Amino acid sequence: MAQWGAIFSIIAALGGAALLASVHKIDEGHTGVYYRGGALLTTTSSPGFHLMLPFITTYKSVQTTIQTDEVKNVPCGTSVCVCSMFTVLSAFVSLSAVFDIVRNFTADYDKALIFNKVHHELNQFCSVHSLQEVYIGLFDQIDENLKLTLQEDLTNMAPGLIIQAVRVTKPNIPESIRRNYELMESEKTKLLISQQTQKVVEKEAETERIKAVIEAEKVAQVAEIKFGQKVMEKETEKRISQIEDGAFLAREKARADAEFYTAQRVAEANKIKLTPEYLQLMKYKAIAANSKIYFGNDIPQMFGSSLAHIVADWQVLPLAQRSSADQGLYFSNISESLLEITLYF
């Protein structure tokens, strides 16, 4: 019985050891890949606890989230000196590409695809550029150029491995050279500050000039508007004066036409009335209205000859020259002559 108990104890111990060897855990953000007899199995596992054949199958956990790799002391040889650089990369592997990348480059794919490639690209960059370009002139372009170069090669060699960011630090150069470059950077900064200050001053001067131009244009526009208003006022006054002059001229013309028409009608009426019978009537009226009495034998002949002379002068005058003024003068002479006739019996 004791032997059987020992055998069962050994079997239980072996079973427990086998169970412990078969159970394994895959962390979140990782994918498990399996090897059996050194051959990579096509089976992959997600995060959690899994079982495998103990002592025959082994596994490795491959990170599929963003991981940061540091490439230290990368030699950078220029024409002046040999310096070292420090590079930090952030990369991740897609789940669908884990099996192909591990099969082609093993689980330590980052050494072959990232570390060695970074060394090669930085050495090549340093060999074709001077220390001044590496340290100052082209340093701001190293990160982006290295990222693009690595991603282009990875896209061809290991699709699914993506470089998210690359950061290259300043190379470690001898202290004397570093101080010279720092002094150069300081002078360059001062130059940039002076240039920016000059640009600010020029910009302020340009702003003042633009303000002055705008103010002058505003004054000119105001003056032009006022001048236009004055011109319009003068034109309005001129038009009003023309209208008033036209109205006055029309009134004067109408009055002159009326006076001419009245005189013309009076002349025509007088022409019609100038008959011997009418003259005889006027003679009698004048005699009847005269209060003076003259005595003598030649008085009738004197007034008769005077009146006959006035009538003869009027009849000799052409019709075209018998104006209203002449007619008035004619009848006035007749009236005066008639008024001076002496009544005699």
Range of the domain at 23: 11-62
Residue with tokens 């036209």: 246
Q: What is the pLDDT of residue 16?
A: 66
Q: What is the pLDDT of residue 201?
A: 92
Assess whether 91 and 48 both reside in one domain. no
Question: Does some domain include residue 163?
Answer: yes
Q: What is the pLDDT of residue 325?
A: 43
CATH code at position 141: 3.30.479.30
Question: Does some domain include residue 225?
Answer: no
Question: Does some domain include residue 197?
Answer: no
Mean pLDDT per 10-residue interval, the chain, length 345 residues: 67 69 86 88 88 84 84 72 67 80 85 84 81 77 87 87 84 74 80 90 92 91 90 90 89 89 84 75 75 53 51 51 49 51 40
Assess whether 98 and 154 both reside in one domain. yes
Residue 169 in tokens: 């630090």
Question: Does some domain include residue 34?
Answer: yes
Q: What is the pLDDT of residue 342?
A: 40
Among 25, 44, 62, the domain boundary falls at 62
Q: How far apart are CA 148 and CA 42, in angstroms?
A: 32
CA–CA distances in Å: residue 36 to residues 39, 57, 166, 169, 341: 5, 4, 36, 42, 177
The percent of the chain in helix, strand and coil, each rounded to the nearest 5, is 65, 20, 15
Q: How far apart are CA 20 and CA 18, in angstroms?
A: 5
Strand partners, 51: 23
Q: How far apart are CA 82 and CA 76, in angstroms?
A: 6
Residue 313's SS3 state is helix
DSSP state of 298: S
Question: Does some domain include residue 103?
Answer: yes
Assess whether 49 and 157 both reside in one domain. no
Among 148, 180, 212, the domain boundary falls at 180
Nearest residue to 63 (alpha-carbon basis) of 98, 35, 37, 34: 98
Among 22, 45, 62, the domain boundary falls at 62
Assess whether 79 and 155 both reside in one domain. yes
Residue with tokens 């427990």: 16
Assess whether 99 and 176 both reside in one domain. yes
Q: Which residues contact 270 (CB under 8 A, 6 or more apart)?
A: 327, 331
Q: How far apart are CA 285 and CA 329, in angstroms?
A: 19
Assess whether 163 and 108 both reside in one domain. yes
Nearest residue to 110 (alpha-carbon basis) of 91, 135, 132: 91
Assess whether 70 and 175 both reside in one domain. yes
Residue with tokens 């220390």: 131
Assess whether 55 and 104 both reside in one domain. no
Question: Does some domain include residue 41?
Answer: yes
Q: How far apart are CA 75 and CA 35, in angstroms?
A: 36
Assess whether 74 and 155 both reside in one domain. yes
